[in-house]
């Protein structure tokens, strides 16, 4: 029996990096993730740590037209997309969300990033039916930033804790298994205790099998005002990419469709450098500049916004 040896990992660590006097640029390795800024920057909450400062009156990016989404989904098949993500703003403010999710789930797995405050009984019923009827997984990622109202609402606004917990309770009662995401606003020394408390709190409302995902804060947008921004030295340089696994960066694996063009990354909406084109094809062909300081967080922590961390094997 003869075996044929071939490299398994897609690319050498620093292959394809564009060198210039300014910031490094990285090409798209594969369009694994197609993101949609489905509700633009419009949100029913005004969280103090939001990296793109979403709010009821932030109309910088508007709701995506269902036709735009449908066209991108059609293109995504030929591009070999592996996962679809829907973010905002608050996606459940989009009146066509359920129909759009149905279109996406006909092609592949879909994830919605939500604050969970607009999950009505009827809406949850619709989601449960959608999830049950699809070959692919529907993931609901619900943001909760504390284990009590004092902690959560200090960031997400008065009343948010109770409303999010009610949304989670409805999802659990419908047999769905939401992923609860929490931005780490507590010191590392308290981390283990916080995880236990999150688990207990979620169990109390019927989330018996909680899936908890803790994210580091992204110190841009409103969060920069809350906790201070990045230090001048916290930036991705050419030297830092030597031997680095580029697949850990979201922009080597993803593009984001918005009402104002296609971007490299969902956290860089406020930066013109991240707008890579008018169309998906154009944006896929252009390398992404790592020129913003938020890129430093992705460099350090990996593509935290994905459901499962990306990246290949550790290199010898």
Q: Based on CB atoms, which residue is closest to other proteins, 11 or 240? A: 11
Q: Based on CB atoms, which residue is closest to other proteins, 29 or 117? A: 29
Q: Look at residue 159 and give its three-state secondary structure.
A: coil
Q: Based on CB atoms, which residue is closest to other proteins, 213 or 238? A: 213
Give 77: exposed, middle or buried? Use CB within 10 Å, 0-12, 13-18, 19+.
exposed
Q: How far apart are CA 81 and CA 33, in angstroms?
A: 6
**Min separation Cβ 305 and other proteins, Å:** 13
Q: How far apart are CA 34 and CA 255, in angstroms?
A: 6
CB 283 within 8 A of CB 260: no
**Min separation Cβ 135 and other proteins, Å:** 7
Q: How many CB atoms lie within 10 A of CB 216?
A: 12
The footprint of other proteins (CB under 8 A) covers 1-10, 30, 76-78, 80-83, 107-109, 131, 135-139, 175-177, 192, 195, 209, 211-214, 247, 307-309, 311-314, 316
**Min separation Cβ 191 and other proteins, Å:** 8
Q: Based on CB atoms, which residue is closest to other proteins, 5 or 272? A: 5
- Among residues 37, 30, 71, 63, the alpha carbon closest in space to that of 52 is found at 37
**Min separation Cβ 144 and other proteins, Å:** 16
The residue assigned the tokens 């995504």 is 76
Residue partners of 201: CB distance under 8 A and separation at least 6: 147, 148, 165
**Min separation Cβ 309 and other proteins, Å:** 5
Q: Based on CB atoms, which residue is closest to other proteins, 229 or 311? A: 311
């Amino acid at each position: 029996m003869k075996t044929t040896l071939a490299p398994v990992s897609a690319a050498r660590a620093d292959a394809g990096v564009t060198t210039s006097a300014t910031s490094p640029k990285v090409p798209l390795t594969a369009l694994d993730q197609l993101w949609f800024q489905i509700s633009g920057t419009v949100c029913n909450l005004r969280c103090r740590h939001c990296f793109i400062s979403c709010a009821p009156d932030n109309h910088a990016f508007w709701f995506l037209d269902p036709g735009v989404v449908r066209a991108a989904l059609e293109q995504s098949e030929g591009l070999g997309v592996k996962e679809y993500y829907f973010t905002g703003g608050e996606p459940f403010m989009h009146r066509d969300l359920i129909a759009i999710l149905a279109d996406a789930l006909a092609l592949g797995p879909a994830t919605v990033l939500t604050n969970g405050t607009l999950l009505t009984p009827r809406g949850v019923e619709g989601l449960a039916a959608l999830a049950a009827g699809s070959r692919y997984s529907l993931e609901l990622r619900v943001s909760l930033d504390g284990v009590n109202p004092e902690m959560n609402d200090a960031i997400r606004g008065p009343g948010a804790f109770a409303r999010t917990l009610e949304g989670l309770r409805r999802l659990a009662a419908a047999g769905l298994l939401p992923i609860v995401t929490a931005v780490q606003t507590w010191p590392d020394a308290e981390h283990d205790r916080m995880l236990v408390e999150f688990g207990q709190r979620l169990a109390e409302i019927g989330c018996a099998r909680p899936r908890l995902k803790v994210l580091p804060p992204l110190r841009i947008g409103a969060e920069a005002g809350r906790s201070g921004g990045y230090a001048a030295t916290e930036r991705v340089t050419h030297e830092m990419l030597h031997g680095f696994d580029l697949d850990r960066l979201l922009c080597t694996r993803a593009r984001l469709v918005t009402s104002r063009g296609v971007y490299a990354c969902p956290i860089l909406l406020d930066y013109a450098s991240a707008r890579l084109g008018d169309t998906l094809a154009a944006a896929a062909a252009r390398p992404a500049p790592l020129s913003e300081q938020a890129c430093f967080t992705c460099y350090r922590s990996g593509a935290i916004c994905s459901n499962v961390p990306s990246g290949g094997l550790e290199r010898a």
